[in-house]
A and B are shown apart, each in its own frame.
Chain A
Amino acid sequence: MTSSREVVRVSGLSVRFGQAVVVDSVSLSVSAGECLAIVGESGSGKTLTAKALLGLLPDGASVVVDELVIDGVDARRNSERDWRRIRGSRVGLVSQDALVSLDPLRRVGAEVAEVLEVHGAPGSGERMLRAAIVDAVTGLLGRVAVPEPAERARQYPHELSGGLRQRALIASALAGEPGILIADEPTTALDVTVQAQVLDLLSRLRADGLGIVVISHDLAVVAGIADRVAVMKDGRIVEEGATTEVLSNPQHPYTRMLLAAAPRLPEPSFPELVEGSVAGGFPSTGSGGGDGVAPVLRATGLGRDFRRADGGIRSAVDDVSFTVRAGAAIGVVGESGSGKTTLARLLLAFDEPDRGSVALEGHEWSGIPERRRRSRRGGIQYISQDPLGSFDPRYTVARIVAEGLRGDARGTSPGGRAERIRHLLDSVGLDASLEGRRPHELSGGQRQRVAIARALASEPRILVCDEPVSALDVSIQATIIDLLAGLRRDLGVALVFVSHDLAVVAQLCDEVLVMKEGRVVERGSTRDVFENPRHPFTRALVAAVPRMP
């Protein structure tokens, strides 16, 4: 494989914005039929490195490079016009989330055809006739395994499923028959089962001789497809080598930290996962709980219907029942559209169920006027995926946390209040010096901690978390999960943890509900469900989770 033609050769690539060096003497090479993964967390410079290979760096970036050969073309002194000749014909780009990376106002076919319209027929560069382009587009969509390609070409991106959209985006990047494909987080917005299919497609293309550079924050995702991995941190490649080598025998401490932080599913051979530890003391559903204490939260036969565009009815949540006892942690997993978020909204009484009911701390919670709920809202709190959107950008951290204080705590002396806020920040591992900061001055992990501190301010008995770590880097993810587990242990706060990420749920929850099309298809202790899934859907879900060798 190494003997084949080199399609990318870069050495000494540095990118600077003013004084800040964001990419620092990066060198890499990719051969035809080879896949190189560049892995790093946000701000590591991986995306800028990828953009430099397309000449698409933002204005204000200054580039120094010793060698830059793209599919046989020396691109060091490329003008914008030279770059345009290369883009699409010699190097293709696939980005995250085809819903916004394909022009939403244009038909899928028009997007796939664009390269052919710009560059003409691959190879010859001759202008193509309308009919020839339509045929070529159908062929390309077929090649990336889009069913009914001619029909799909006439549809718009939002009319296709996430997986088909991403395939169409890949087809549009392949249209000019480039030697190298740059895939920037190509599966990040996708469900695990769809992610597996897209990764599969990429490996097939690689086997056909395409050189691929995959950019990802997730080592596990690239483990299955990359021949070599380059780990980036602060603009530098800190470690590079064959994938199996890097994963099994990491040299650099940062690589080791990344590997350790990545959440994993329990291996079947893993002994005594949670028994006797945090989760041991809490009975799972069905065991009744004879201690006479009312559960913190009880959902009975919950259902919520929405009217579809064609007038039909779709049950987003259908006949879901479960009980959360004090201090328990329940995971809700499923793919997008499975009803997880609707369920979370029902539990929080942001939305009223059409069927069934919710009880909070033994008293009715759904079906009563909001006026009667308001004084009890402090008992159940919400953590969202993106806390930035839930903060007033002009508030300081202290004021954001103070928002969460209950009426009585708000009324106490200013000194007592400040003391309480400091205590809350301390309990989520934030330094008191951050009090005066505003949301945009915080990192993603710090923001999520502030959101948790605000939620804790009202001393809730239960936190409903909707994908609380999905937007965070793996190393940060791990610390937030640790924090939630610690809060549960120390404060006895119960958790309902909604996530598409099975591995994260496996780490944190002792019980799990698997949702599909609004219904709970499987439930049980986390270990049972993930080690020995019974429902075919759970099995597919577990099988699709990328694993490191």
Chain B
Amino acid sequence: MIFRRILARVAGMLVVVWGAATAAFLVLKLVPGDPVDVMLGVSAQASPELKQSIRAELGLDQPLLVQYVSYLSRLVRGDFGTSYQLRLPVTDVIGQQLGYTLQLAAASLALALVIALAGAVLVHGRAARGVFSVLELLAISSPPFWIGLVLLSVFAFGLGWFPVAGADGIQSLVLPAMTIALPVAGILGQVLRTGLEDAEEQPFATTARARGAGPARLVLRHTLRHAAIPALTLAGYIVGSLLGGAVIVESVFARPGLGRVALAAITNRDLPVVMGIIVFTAIVFVLVNLLVDLAYRAIDPRIAPPTTAIRGAR
């Protein structure tokens, strides 16, 4: 039973990745323009014969279905193709840049969590909460590039606390991470606060207080877990924000990373890299969803696997 469930789950994940790969393939075949022209550069005056031979070498002269099948079979073997621009295997391109973006994403997520938790748990009183919600709303509704520019002009150009650009140590990570973290913290904080307030209204919170539990214990041992459940549903949005934010922030702050590679690949029509990044992103989302599901089960025993539930049922 459990085994079948896991199997179905894995199959579902594969279907999603396959769907993303297929969509990427079709979309990029539909866009106008000849990739060979792009590869050769605008200035290159290549003869039609040369172009044709390059096309044949890349398999671009084959019927669409044949191209699709060979594309998929290469994907299955972990071969994402070779970048037209960089002349490197796509896996290497992604691998080289992944570290920078992971660093940025992890730092942003940590910052967002700290800010959201602090706002939801520590801010008490009607007035303070009102002020905080306005700040959250501001963070949610501001475009990331604008936040980035404001942070740059205040903390880098104005106060000079942090470097303007680059990826050189913790110092250079602060402003970019903050840029991505603020909108995420805004929405996460709102969901957490609502969750905490809802949980505080529940009968079990009254019971806990009737046992002599103080506010700290009430939050840490009881209500925060309840508030974490709606917050977890935001995981997809957050991962999207982290990856999407990376594209903008890496450009604004001139940091290396996957986001910049993606942006460059799209403007240069470097199809293998674009498709590689799309498939990679799909895999990330599928894995995050799996983790979120496992986290739900860890937090809420009511959705635990059935075998444990039955033992207790009377």
Question: Contact residues of A with B, CB < 8 Å?
Answer: 54, 56, 84-89, 91-93, 95-97, 100-106, 111, 114-115, 118-119, 155-156, 158-161, 164, 169, 172-173, 175-176, 308-311
B212 and A84 contacting across the interface, CB-CB below 8 Å:
yes
Q: Chain B residues with Cβ under 8 A from A95's Cβ?
A: 203, 206-207
Give Cα A157–Cα B221 distance, bound, in whole angstroms.
16
Given contacts A89-B212, A104-B204, A310-B310, contact A156 B302 (CB under 8 A): yes
B312 and A155 contacting across the interface, CB-CB below 8 Å:
yes
Give Cα A15–Cα B125 distance, bound, in whole angstroms.
23
Q: Can you list 26 A-B pairs with a CB-CB distance of less than 8 A?
A: A56-B206, A56-B210, A88-B212, A95-B203, A95-B206, A97-B203, A100-B204, A101-B206, A102-B207, A103-B207, A105-B222, A114-B211, A115-B211, A155-B312, A156-B302, A156-B312, A159-B311, A159-B313, A169-B207, A173-B210, A173-B211, A176-B211, A176-B212, A308-B310, A309-B309, A310-B306
Given contacts A159-B312, A159-B313, contact A119 B212 (CB under 8 A): yes
Q: Chain A residues with Cβ under 8 A from B206's Cβ?
A: 56, 93, 95, 101
Give Cα A97–Cα B314 distance, bound, in whole angstroms.
17
A106 and B222 contacting across the interface, CB-CB below 8 Å:
yes
Q: Considering only CB atoms, which chain A residue lies closest to B211 in the complex? A: A88
Q: Does B55 interact with chain A (Cβ within 8 Å)? A: no
Given contacts A105-B225, A105-B226, contact A156 B212 (CB under 8 A): no
Taking the closest CB of chain B, its distance from the CB of A464, in whole angstroms, is 29
Question: Contact residues of B with A, CB < 8 Å?
Answer: 1, 202-204, 206-214, 217, 221-222, 225-226, 299-302, 306-314
Taking the closest CB of chain B, its distance from the CB of A350, in whole angstroms, is 25
Question: With A106-B221, A172-B207 given, can you name 17 additional A-B contacts, CB distance below 8 Å?
Answer: A54-B210, A56-B206, A91-B210, A93-B206, A95-B203, A95-B207, A104-B300, A104-B301, A114-B208, A115-B212, A118-B212, A156-B312, A164-B314, A172-B211, A173-B210, A176-B211, A310-B310
* Secondary structure type dominating chain B contacts: helix
Q: Chain B residues with Cβ under 8 A from A308's Cβ?
A: 310
- Contacting residue for B301 out of A56, A87, A156, CB 8 A: A156
Taking the closest CB of chain A, its distance from the CB of B310, in whole angstroms, is 5
B211 and A87 contacting across the interface, CB-CB below 8 Å:
yes
Give Cα A54–Cα B212 distance, bound, in whole angstroms.
10
B207 and A101 contacting across the interface, CB-CB below 8 Å:
yes
Give Cα A54–Cα B211 distance, bound, in whole angstroms.
10
B203 and A100 contacting across the interface, CB-CB below 8 Å:
yes
B302 and A104 contacting across the interface, CB-CB below 8 Å:
yes
Q: Chain A residues with Cβ under 8 A from B202's Cβ?
A: 100
- Contacting residue for A84 out of B214, B222, B307, B313, CB 8 A: B214
A88 and B312 contacting across the interface, CB-CB below 8 Å:
no
Q: Considering only CB atoms, which chain B residue lies closest to A97 in the complex? A: B203
Give Cα A111–Cα B208 distance, bound, in whole angstroms.
8
Q: Chain B residues with Cβ under 8 A from A86's Cβ?
A: 212
Residue from B217, B226, B306, B309 having most chain A Cβ neighbours under 10 A: B309
Taking the closest CB of chain A, its distance from the CB of B238, in whole angstroms, is 22
B211 and A118 contacting across the interface, CB-CB below 8 Å:
yes
Q: Considering only CB atoms, which chain B residue lies closest to A156 in the complex? A: B301
Residue from B208, B212, B302, B308 having most chain A Cβ neighbours under 10 A: B212
Given contacts A119-B212, A160-B314, contact A103 B204 (CB under 8 A): yes
Give Cα A56–Cα B208 distance, bound, in whole angstroms.
11
Give Cα A105–Cα B207 distance, bound, in whole angstroms.
14
Give Cα A515–Cα B313 distance, bound, in whole angstroms.
20
A56 and B209 contacting across the interface, CB-CB below 8 Å:
yes
Give Cα A140–Cα B204 distance, bound, in whole angstroms.
19
B204 and A87 contacting across the interface, CB-CB below 8 Å:
no
Give Cα A173–Cα B213 distance, bound, in whole angstroms.
13
Taking the closest CB of chain A, its distance from the CB of B298, in whole angstroms, is 10
Give Cα A468–Cα B301 distance, bound, in whole angstroms.
33
Given contacts A100-B202, A102-B207, contact A87 B212 (CB under 8 A): yes
Taking the closest CB of chain A, its distance from the CB of B192, in whole angstroms, is 16
Q: Chain A residues with Cβ under 8 A from B204's Cβ?
A: 100-104
Give Cα A93–Cα B212 distance, bound, in whole angstroms.
11
Give Cα A172–Cα B217 distance, bound, in whole angstroms.
16
The 4 A-B residue pairs with the shortest CB-CB distance, nearest first, are A159-B312, A309-B306, A93-B210, A88-B212
Given contacts A105-B300, A106-B222, contact A87 B209 (CB under 8 A): yes
Q: Considering only CB atoms, which chain B residue lies closest to A102 in the complex? A: B204
Give Cα A100–Cα B211 distance, bound, in whole angstroms.
16
Give Cα A503–Cα B226 distance, bound, in whole angstroms.
40
Q: Chain A residues with Cβ under 8 A from B309's Cβ?
A: 158-159, 309
Give Cα A309–Cα B302 distance, bound, in whole angstroms.
12
Q: Chain B residues with Cβ under 8 A from A169's Cβ?
A: 207
Q: Chain A residues with Cβ under 8 A from B226's Cβ?
A: 105
B212 and A85 contacting across the interface, CB-CB below 8 Å:
yes
Q: Chain A residues with Cβ under 8 A from B299's Cβ?
A: 105
Give Cα A56–Cα B311 distance, bound, in whole angstroms.
37
Q: Considering only CB atoms, which chain B residue lies closest to A108 in the complex? A: B312
Given contacts A84-B214, A87-B211, contact A310 B302 (CB under 8 A): no
A118 and B302 contacting across the interface, CB-CB below 8 Å:
no
Taking the closest CB of chain A, its distance from the CB of B125, in whole angstroms, is 12
A160 and B312 contacting across the interface, CB-CB below 8 Å:
yes
Q: Chain B residues with Cβ under 8 A from A176's Cβ?
A: 211-212
Give Cα A91–Cα B209 distance, bound, in whole angstroms.
12
Q: Considering only CB atoms, which chain B residue lies closest to A91 in the complex? A: B210
Give Cα A114–Cα B221 distance, bound, in whole angstroms.
10
Taking the closest CB of chain A, its distance from the CB of B209, in whole angstroms, is 6
Taking the closest CB of chain A, its distance from the CB of B213, in whole angstroms, is 6
Taking the closest CB of chain B, its distance from the CB of A210, in whole angstroms, is 16
Taking the closest CB of chain A, its distance from the CB of B1, in whole angstroms, is 6
Give Cα A281–Cα B309 distance, bound, in whole angstroms.
50
Q: Chain B residues with Cβ under 8 A from A92's Cβ?
A: 210-211
B314 and A105 contacting across the interface, CB-CB below 8 Å:
no
Q: Chain B residues with Cβ under 8 A from A309's Cβ?
A: 306, 309-310
Taking the closest CB of chain B, its distance from the CB of A264, in whole angstroms, is 31
Q: Chain A residues with Cβ under 8 A from B1's Cβ?
A: 311
Q: Considering only CB atoms, which chain A residue lies closest to B313 in the complex? A: A159
Q: Chain A residues with Cβ under 8 A from B300's Cβ?
A: 104-105
